Amino acid sequence: MIKNKDNWFIFSFFSWYISRRVTRHFYQIDFNKVDVSPQKSVLLIANHYSWWDGFLFFYLNKMLFKKKFHVMILEETILEHAFLKYVGSFSVSKGSKSIIETLKYAGGLLNDPENLLLIFPQGKLFSNFVDEVVFEKGLSKIIAFGQQNFQTVFAASFTEYFSQPKPTTFIYLKNDETENFATLTDVVSAYQKHYRQSKKVQSAIVK
């Protein structure tokens, strides 16, 4: 939330800074479009494999979703890069007493249709081409704390160079047709299916 003119200026600067870094570092950001409801917030679930992931989805939000961007990151990351709090990042400290309050805050963000909440369910960095994406338990509590007025979008991302000196990131998006999931197992199953299909498509690319 941008509460005053100073914060708005800081946000605008870092928004420009992130977009500039992404466009200068990457040859291309390749993604498919999905429909976004103005009456619902977006819960964006993505695999996590690089330092660039948050920047890439911040950029993608500007290009496609056009919502207020929020992402939950580890406390040590935001302590190291304090400016991230000005572009929608908030921290979680694993094993601390405050974790429930953080998850409750995250769930509350989904009650505002202007918001997009990015979650990396793995909680850590994994290889870009793992067979399956591991989900930690916090996502189920975030969903429970929300009021279910959100749409779930799955993102499977892969970065390749091929014949270019700069990398291209391919982001496969799927707007899940099921509005609500009964359990975390349902979310995991649906995401894994999307991830495996996306990985198969990506692995078949020949330049």
DSSP state, residue 132: S
Residue with the larger pLDDT of the pair 92 and 205? 205
Residue 179: predicted pLDDT: 57
State mean pLDDT over 130-144. 90
Cβ contacts of 207 within 8 Å, gap of 6 or more: 162, 163
- pLDDT tens digits for range 145-199: 887 789 999 999 999 999 999 999 999 999 986 555 668 888 999 999 999 999 9
Q: How many CB atoms lie within 10 A of CB 32?
A: 11
Residue 148: predicted pLDDT: 79
What pTM did the predictor assign? 0.92
Q: Which of 11-25, 95-109, 120-134 has the lowest mean pLDDT?
A: 95-109
147 SS3 class:
coil
- Transcribe 56-90 into DSSP letters: HHHHHIIIII-SEEEEEEEHHHHHHSGGGGGGTEE
Write down the number of H helices and E strands in the chain: 6, 7
Q: How does residue 2 score in pLDDT terms, banded at 50, 70 and 90?
A: very low
- pLDDT tens digits for range 17-65: 999 999 999 999 999 999 999 999 999 999 999 999 999 999 999 999 9
The closest of 108, 77, 111, 112 to 93, measured between CA atoms, is 77
Residue ranges with strand state E in 96-190? 115-119, 150-160, 168-175
* pLDDT(79) > 90: no
* pLDDT(75) > 90: no
Cα–Cα distance measured from residue 50 to residue 171, given in angstroms and rounded to the nearest whole number: 14
